[in-house]
């Protein structure tokens, strides 16, 4: 069953240009994104910094309003819903944040932080809420006696557990995790990822997992969407990682550091930087960095189409790209 | 171990001897003002024309003034007036400043535009002369002074709070609370203001000092409390005629003002040092 469906979502941010030039330049943060997420599934969203991943997350939560496109939650169009009507639905989608140091209010006790969503929605009596909070603390691997502590008494990994406890307090269906482990030590990353997986199994959670780290994404996801300059350039099932079609996805894969230090890697195949999202390249937005580009790539934008193996990819020359790569 | 933010601040504050000593002085002065009717040896306006301009010593520890009133008693009652002006005036403008600053910082847009311009306009006036002018109209009384200082000095706090709110507004914990369904009121009062409070407290502590000084200056110029009400400024004002013959009349209120202002400023400074740099790494 489809839990969340997004059609052609667009978000532009006006940028500088002084008083008179205001609104003439735009940052194309999200530029026509469509996908579906089924209940219980994990959709990974991967891309370099600045590709619009975080904006996409904020759009899905209706933290910011899209300029175009539609968002359906359980088939219901929520795009233009007022904040008040959206409130009960909002409780069903929660977020886990990147920076565990900024995501917990330093003046509140851990108990209050986790209890707050329950208190806002008036779930249960005071006593019931406290019991539930302690249950949640234990669920994420903390202890009941942490209830009265303050955030600064915890490490980054523990803080992330607190953030996760807060996110699942209202029994949500959908959790958007925006780089939930990228600010943690590698040893802690594994623990947090395991916790997220356990919780998913226990509560049939649906995840949208946003990260720049393809290694983490491939561990967590059922399907993976690769974003480049505000667009999805490839969408495929995680088992198919070795058969990715789009030159950008392949470049990302090759850039994952190897565990084996003796293994020689090809040099990073991507030259240059991500172009400015203010002035997008013509045609295929990847063409300035693409090793397989031809004239048509500068002129016509490729569509995200079904290619062989059920992959969706947007590229004119899928056939020129190697079929398989070494990871 | 439960360690709230304010525990940590107190831990840092304690380490600064001068600030701690000043805090003691502030508390002492406060209790003297509160207990004035028990502590003062004479009623503040009890006069004995047979005992005028007596130097310190004997029955009058700090001597008597030109009407034979006990200087120490007037000083103690003066503390009541001066400190209450300081506190009430500062409370008024901190309340106004927090309210307007929070509205401007949180809502932004035209609300911010209007409030920010109002702050700038208000800041263009030389406040002391504005206060003088207003008092000339409404008449000098201790309540008018409190209100006038209160409604003219809020700009600093408003700017401060606006800036703090802007700083925290886009933090992830605010986003998280909004996602949990929190409405504006909860976001402002539970999430944003508690984080903005520490610098406000520092500023208020300096503010009390400056309000006491303003009251003294106004009373000294005759725009302050009526002459029969003892305030440090009015005592000083009446004493200036006898400066060359009765030094104790000017020295006592002058010293009281000096010590109080210094103590409040040092407490403010200590607090500022306690909340700022060393706690950044823990919070």
CA distance A175 to chain B (A): 11
pLDDT value, residue B177: 93
Q: What is the DSSP string of B208-225?
A: HHHHHHHHHHHHHTTSSS
Out of B1, B5, B180, the one facing A120 most closely (by C-beta) is B180
Let me know if residue B214 belongs to a domain.
yes
CB contact under 8 A, B181 and A87: yes
Considering only A214-223, A224-233, A267-276, B99-108, which range has the smallest mean pLDDT? A267-276
Contacts of A107 in chain B (CB under 8 A): 4-5, 194-195
Contacts of A103 in chain B (CB under 8 A): 171-173, 175-176
Let me know if residue B131 belongs to a domain.
yes
CB contact under 8 A, A107 and B176: no
Taking CA–CA distances from B5, the nearest residue in chain A reads: A107
b/e sequence B210-223, b meaning 16+ C-beta within 10 Å: bbbbbbbbbbbeeb
Let me know if residue B252 belongs to a domain.
yes
Let me know if residue B166 belongs to a domain.
yes
Let me know if residue B46 belongs to a domain.
no
pLDDT above 90 (res B43): no
CB contact under 8 A, A152 and B191: no
pLDDT above 90 (res A312): no
The tens digit of pLDDT for each residue in A120-129 reads 998 889 999 9
- What is the SS3 assignment for chain A? CEEEEEEEEEEEEEECCCCCCCCCEEEEEEEEEEEEEECCCEEEEECCCCCCHHHHHHHHCCCCCCCEEEEEECCEECCCCCHHHHHHHHCCEEEECCCCCCCCCCCCCHHHHHHHHHHHCCCCCHHHHHHHHHHHHHHCCCCHHHHHCCHHHCCHHHHHHHHHHHHHCCCCCEEEEECCCCCCCHHHHHHHHHHHHHHHHHHCCEEEEEECCHHHHHHHCCEEEEEECCEEEEEEEHHHHHHCCCHHHHHHHHHCCCCCCCCCCCCCCCCCCCCCCCCCCCCCCCHHHCCCCCHHHHHCCCCCEECHHHCEECCCCHHHCCCCCCC
pLDDT, mean of residues B6-21: 88
pLDDT value, residue A193: 95
Contacts of A114 in chain B (CB under 8 A): none
CB contact under 8 A, B180 and A99: no
pLDDT, mean of residues B88-110: 95
- ipTM of predicted complex: 0.85
Confidence of residue B185 (pLDDT cuts 50, 70, 90): very high
Out of A94, A102, A150, the one facing B172 most closely (by C-beta) is A102
pLDDT value, residue A298: 84
Q: Which of A116, A169, A177 to mutate to test the interface with B (most CBs of B within 10 A)?
A: A116
pLDDT above 70 (res A258): no
Domains of chain A as residue ranges with CATH: 2-92+174-189+202-320 (3.40.50.300), 106-171 (no CATH)
Let me know if residue B72 belongs to a domain.
yes
For residue A232, what are its two tokens?
């999805």
pLDDT above 60 (res B259): yes
Chain A CB within 8 Å of residue B228 CB: no
CB contact under 8 A, A63 and B178: yes
Chain A CB within 8 Å of residue B49 CB: no
Chain A CB within 8 Å of residue B169 CB: no
CA distance A104 to chain B (A): 5
pLDDT value, residue A267: 56
The tens digit of pLDDT for each residue in B166-183 reads 999 989 999 999 888 899
CB contact under 8 A, B179 and A90: yes
pLDDT above 80 (res A221): yes
Contacts of A94 in chain B (CB under 8 A): 179-180
Confidence of residue A138 (pLDDT cuts 50, 70, 90): very high
Contacts of B182 in chain A (CB under 8 A): 116, 120
pLDDT above 60 (res A268): no
CA distance B27 to chain A (A): 27
Of B3 and A202, the one with more pLDDT: A202
For chain A, the average pLDDT equals 87
Domain holding B245: CATH number? 1.10.3720.10
Cβ atoms of A302 and A319 closer than 8 Å: no
β-pairing, A231-237 vs A223-228, is antiparallel
Query: What is the dihedral angle through the alpha carbons of B160, B163, B169, B170, rounded to the nearest 10 degrees?
Result: -150
Let me know if residue B229 belongs to a domain.
yes
Q: How many CB atoms lie under 10 A from the CB of residue B282?
A: 13
**DSSP-assigned letter for residue B188:** I
Chain A CB within 8 Å of residue B226 CB: no
Out of B177, B181, B186, the one facing A91 most closely (by C-beta) is B181
pLDDT value, residue B244: 83
pLDDT value, residue A115: 95
For chain B, the average pLDDT equals 87
CA distance A94 to chain B (A): 6
pLDDT above 90 (res B140): no
Give the structural domain span for B68.
60-275
pLDDT, mean of residues B201-223: 90
pLDDT value, residue A191: 93
CA distance B184 to chain A (A): 12
pLDDT value, residue B42: 80
pLDDT value, residue B276: 67
pLDDT above 80 (res B94): yes
pLDDT value, residue A21: 54
Q: What's the rounded Cα separation, in Å, for the pair B99 and B151? A: 13
Out of A107, A108, A116, the one facing B180 most closely (by C-beta) is A116
Counting one residue from A and one from B, how many pairs have CB atoms under 8 Å apart?
72
Q: What's the rounded Cα separation, in Å, for the pair B270 and A317? A: 68
**Residue B237 β-bridge partners:** none
Total number of domains in chain B: 1
pLDDT, mean of residues B97-121: 95
The tens digit of pLDDT for each residue in B152-169 reads 899 999 999 999 999 999
CA distance B283 to chain A (A): 6
pLDDT, mean of residues B248-274: 90
Predicted model pTM = 0.84
pLDDT value, residue A137: 95
Taking CA–CA distances from B185, the nearest residue in chain A reads: A120
Let me know if residue B192 belongs to a domain.
yes
Chain A CB within 8 Å of residue B124 CB: no
CB contact under 8 A, B172 and A97: yes
- Tell me the percentage of chain A whose pLDDT exceeds 90: 48
The tens digit of pLDDT for each residue in A55-105 reads 999 999 988 899 999 999 998 999 989 888 898 899 899 999 999 889 999
CB contact under 8 A, A149 and B2: yes
The tens digit of pLDDT for each residue in A3-41 reads 999 999 999 888 765 555 555 678 888 988 999 999 999
CB contact under 8 A, A116 and B178: no
């Amino acid at each position: 069953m489809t839990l969340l469906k997004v059609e052609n979502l667009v978000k532009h941010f006006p940028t500088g240009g002084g008083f008179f030039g205001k609104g003439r330049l735009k940052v194309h943060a999200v530029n026509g994104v469509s996908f579906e997420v089924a209940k219980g599934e994990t959709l990974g969203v991967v891309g370099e910094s600045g590709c619009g991943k975080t904006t996409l997350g904020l759009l899905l939560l209706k933290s910011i309003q899209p300029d175009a496109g539609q968002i359906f939650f359980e088939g219901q169009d929520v795009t233009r819903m007022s904040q008040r009507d959206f409130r009960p639905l909002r409780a069903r989608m929660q977020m886990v944040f990147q920076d565990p140091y900024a995501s917990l209010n330093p003046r509140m006790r851990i108990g209050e932080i986790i209890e707050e969503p329950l208190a806002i929605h008036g779930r249960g009596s005071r006593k019931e809420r406290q019991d539930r909070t302690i249950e949640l603390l234990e669920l994420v691997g903390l202890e009941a006696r942490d209830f009265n502590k303050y955030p600064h008494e915890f490490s980054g990994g523990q803080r992330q557990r607190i953030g996760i406890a807060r996110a699942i307090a209202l029994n949500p269906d959908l959790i958007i995790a925006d780089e939930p482990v990228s600010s943690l030590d590698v040893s802690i990353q594994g623990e947090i990822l395991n916790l997220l997986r356990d919780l998913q199994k226990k509560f049939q959670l649906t995840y949208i997992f946003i990260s720049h780290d393809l290694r983490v994404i491939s561990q967590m996801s059922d399907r993976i969407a690769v974003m480049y300059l505000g667009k999805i350039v490839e969408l495929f099932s995680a088992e198919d990682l070795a058969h990715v079609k789009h030159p950008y996805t392949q470049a990302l894969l090759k850039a994952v550091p190897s565990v084996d230090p003796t293994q020689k890697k090809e040099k990073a195949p991507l030259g240059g930087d991500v172009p400015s999202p203010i002035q997008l390249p013509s045609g295929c937005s990847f063409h300035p960095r693409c090793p397989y580009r031809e004239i048509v790539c500068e002129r016509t934008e490729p569509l995200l189409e079904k290619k062989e193996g059920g992959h969706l990819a947007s590229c004119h020359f899928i056939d020129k790209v190697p079929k398989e790569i070494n990871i | 171990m439960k360690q709230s933010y304010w525990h940590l601040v107190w831990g840092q504050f304690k380490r600064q001897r001068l600030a701690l000593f000043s805090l003691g002085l502030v508390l002492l002065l406060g209790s003297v003002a509160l207990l004035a009717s028990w502590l003062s040896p004479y009623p503040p306006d009890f006069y004995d024309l047979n005992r005028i301009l007596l130097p310190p010593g004997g029955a009058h520890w700090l001597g008597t003034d030109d009407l034979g009133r006990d200087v120490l008693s007037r000083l103690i009652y003066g503390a009541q007036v001066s400190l209450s002006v300081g506190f009430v005036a500062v409370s008024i403008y901190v309340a106004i400043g927090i309210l307007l600053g929070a509205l401007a910082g949180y809502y932004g847009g035209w609300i911010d535009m209007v409030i920010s311009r109002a702050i700038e306009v208000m800041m263009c006036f030389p406040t002391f002369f504005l206060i003088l002018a207003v008092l000339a109209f409404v008449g000098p009384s201790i309540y008018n002074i409190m209100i006038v200082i209160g409604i003219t000095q809020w700009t600093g706090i408003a700017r401060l709070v606006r800036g703090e709110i802007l700083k925290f507004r886009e933090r992830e914990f605010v986003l998280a609370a909004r996602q949990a369904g929190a409405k504006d009121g909860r976001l402002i009062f539970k999430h944003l203001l508690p984080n903005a409070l520490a610098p406000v407290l520092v500023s208020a502590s300096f503010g009390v000092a400056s309000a006491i000084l303003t009251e003294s200056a106004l009373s000294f110029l005759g725009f302050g409390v009526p002459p029969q009400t003892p305030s440090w400024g009015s005592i000083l004002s009446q004493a200036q005629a006898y400066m060359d013959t009765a030094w104790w009349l000017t020295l006592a209120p002058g010293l009281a003002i000096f010590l109080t202002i210094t103590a409040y400023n040092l407490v403010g400074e200590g607090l500022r040092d306690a909340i700022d740099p060393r706690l950044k790494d823990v919070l």
